[in-house]
Amino acid sequence: MQQILHIADIVLPVFGVIAFGYVCAWTGLLRERVAEGVSDYVYTIAIPLLIFRTLSEAKLPEVSPWGYWGVYFAGAAVSWTLAQTISLFVFRRDRREAIVHGLTSAQSNIVLVGIPLVLAAVGEAGAVPLFLLVAVNLPIVMAVASLMMEATGAGLSRASLFRLVRTLATNLILIGFAAGLAAQFLGIRASGPPKAVIDLIAQSSVPCALFAMGLALRRYGVFGDISMTSVVTALKLFVHPLVVWLLATFVVPLPPVFAAVAVLFASMPCGINAYLLAERYQTGVAAAAGAVSLSTTLSVLSISFWLWMIGVGVG
């Protein structure tokens, strides 16, 4: 009973803020452009500074991240492969649409939901392993998806590769990660008023990210492609974290905090980047948008389950 109450203490405030944001958008109290502004602030300012502050001040672990990354991305690969195969051979979708479905089932909503929830569940001990995953997750999954999409068209071109490199090189979350590591290795620490400014903005990242997620949910429907949406949601919320949990527990044993972060990272709802890719290529939009909404709604239950599985309070 005590563990259930502890899980409720973690999950309910997080999803309470998301629900509050949704209600504000649903009632018209805040307009759609506000959602875009809050999300822009979270992605471009608050989260990059949170990552910079954490990595520049943290004591980096001596554990090699390769096994940790391998466990997480093995789970993502299983989920992606299953979704893409089901899309192609069960629902008879074309290759580009199947790629979108695969990406949607493997790409976690980390910035708006994952970072706040993982930090609430694991504490500061989970910050470094969390950001080690944040740093490599976006480049790997988006690069793979973009290259696959381009390869199904007229073929890879120098222009498409240049666009991908430029997008990743100018991503402020990745810049924040690189700047934090550089400050760590050079022994640079912010102090005085600059540190106070960074701290205030970094502290705003968690509530703003959750509120932005609630505002954004109002934009996405669920029933446009409910059959594929349901499959993708099930793979994302159950299969992805299940594979990670099995590997981290029985195959590549990880330190408890690293294992907990990897499982929670995998258990997050579908990320918005998959929807953005679908919009860009104008395929699979309905399933991607629906999966964002449905998986976020159901994740209050699935995340509670995975918190129970890994044991709360590992940090």
What integer pLDDT is reported at residue 222 of this predicted model? 67
- Per residue in 40-60, pLDDT (tens digit) is 888 788 888 888 887 788 776
Within a domain: 126: yes
What integer pLDDT is reported at residue 156 of this predicted model? 57
Greater pLDDT, 107 or 147: 107
Confidence band of 314 (pLDDT split at 50, 70, 90): very low
Greater pLDDT, 219 or 186: 186
- Per residue in 87-113, pLDDT (tens digit) is 999 999 999 999 999 999 999 988 778
SS3 194: helix
Quote the CA–CA distance of 281 and 114 in Å, as a whole number.
26
Please report, for the domain that includes residue 103, its CATH number: 1.20.1530.20
What integer pLDDT is reported at residue 135 of this predicted model? 79
What integer pLDDT is reported at residue 157 of this predicted model? 65
Within a domain: 58: yes
- Per residue in 117-139, pLDDT (tens digit) is 888 888 888 888 888 888 788 78
> What percent of the chain lies above the pLDDT cut of 70?
92
Eight-state DSSP code of residue 267: T
CA 90 vs CA 104, 119, 149, 227, 234: distances in Å? 17, 39, 20, 11, 16
Within a domain: 247: yes
How confident is the model over 163-180, as a mean pLDDT?
79
The yes-or-no verdict on residue 212 having pLDDT over 90 is no
Within a domain: 98: yes
User: With contact defined as beta carbons under 8 Å apart, do 236 and 270 qualify?
Assistant: yes
Task: Report the chain's mean pLDDT, rounded to a whole number.
Answer: 85
Within a domain: 286: yes
Confidence band of 67 (pLDDT split at 50, 70, 90): very high
How confident is the model over 142-165, as a mean pLDDT?
73
- Per residue in 183-192, pLDDT (tens digit) is 888 888 888 8
Instruction: Report the number of distinct structural domains present in the chain.
Output: 1
What integer pLDDT is reported at residue 3 of this predicted model? 64
What integer pLDDT is reported at residue 31 of this predicted model? 80
SS3 108: strand
Burial class (CB in 10 A: 0-12, 13-18, 19+), 245: buried
Listed residue (292, 293, 297, 275) closest to 284, CA to CA: 275
Within a domain: 315: no
**Phi (first) and psi of residue 218, to 5 degrees:** -60, -25
User: With contact defined as beta carbons under 8 Å apart, do 159 and 150 qualify?
Assistant: no
Longest Cα–Cα distance in the chain: 60
What integer pLDDT is reported at residue 84 of this predicted model? 96
The yes-or-no verdict on residue 300 having pLDDT over 80 is yes
How confident is the model over 52-76, as a mean pLDDT?
84
Buried b (16+ CB within 10 A) or exposed e, 187-210: eeebeeeeeeebeebbebbbbbbb
> What percent of the chain lies above the pLDDT cut of 90?
32
What integer pLDDT is reported at residue 62 of this predicted model? 66
- Per residue in 220-234, pLDDT (tens digit) is 766 778 899 999 999
- Per residue in 238-258, pLDDT (tens digit) is 999 999 999 999 999 888 999
HEC string of 213-229 equals: HHHHHCCCCCCCCHHHH
Which residue range(s) make up the domain with 259?
2-310
The yes-or-no verdict on residue 267 having pLDDT over 90 is yes
Quote the CA–CA distance of 187 and 190 in Å, as a whole number.
10
